[in-house]
A = this chain, B = another copy of it.
């Protein structure tokens, strides 16, 4: 590939609480997933985040969540699919208003935290209702939007079969099993902390289209359009800067999947 999208979760501050290094991080990426007030973010944070993203030419996506500020959207809440649809639509609209106010619009949607996980975990077990609920919200709002989901997961097919544009996502610093699934966080080595190793992985992902599995084997044929970076710590944002630089030096452009 001669281009790749880099995406990050941003706009996760709230009121007095500052989280993340959004400005530095947004200078590295092409797609920003902006919190919509349910797990993080508030209208003031959303406005500032959107304005900063637009000024940097970063595409803005909604990052809808279960309504759980205290748990940061990381705890499963047993909602019905109708509620998933309604809460997703609400959050997309709320965020889009700030883009609209600046003459822009949403580019994509990526569910957050436990909702992101529950969509694909349910789908793996044959329960497509959450995935369909997200898909309906996106289509009803704007059928030209992209949905971001776990690369290689069945949700990619489900979203596509429902007529949506889908961006498969891989993780720069997460270890993979040979079958393309993520090594669970609890397992030793699941998160790769060595910056050089992560940079090398990312370059290999983009240049050869393959992800190195934990056992050293190469996972080929994984369809992915974007790499997820973190920015909630000093170290994370430095890693993002290194990745950006390494890709640029190799002539790989950082560009949203939504751009032609």
Contact = CB atoms under 8 A, between A and B. Distances in A.
Contacts of A67: 70
A95 B93 contact: yes
A46 interface: yes
A101 B15 contact: no
Interface string A1-44: 00000000000001111010000000000000000010010111
Contacts of A71: 15, 77, 79
Contacts of A78: 75-77, 114
A43 B86 contact: yes
B141 A100 contact: yes
B96 A97 contact: yes
A132 to B, nearest CB: 15
Contact of A46 (B16, B90, B137): B90
A249 interface: no
Contact of A93 (B94, B114, B140): B94
Contact of A97 (B72, B77, B114, B141): B141
Contact of A77 (B44, B68, B86): B68
A82 interface: yes
A48 B127 CA distance: 25
Interface in A185-222: none
Contact of A14 (B17, B79, B91, B140): B17
B90 A79 contact: no
A93 B89 contact: no
Contacts of A72: 15-16
Contacts of A16: 19, 40, 72, 74
Given A43-B87, A47-B86, 7 more contacts: A15-B69, A43-B86, A75-B78, A77-B77, A89-B97, A89-B98, A92-B97
Interface of A: 14-17, 19, 37, 40, 42-44, 46-47, 67-72, 74-79, 82-83, 86-87, 89-98, 100-102, 114, 137, 140-142
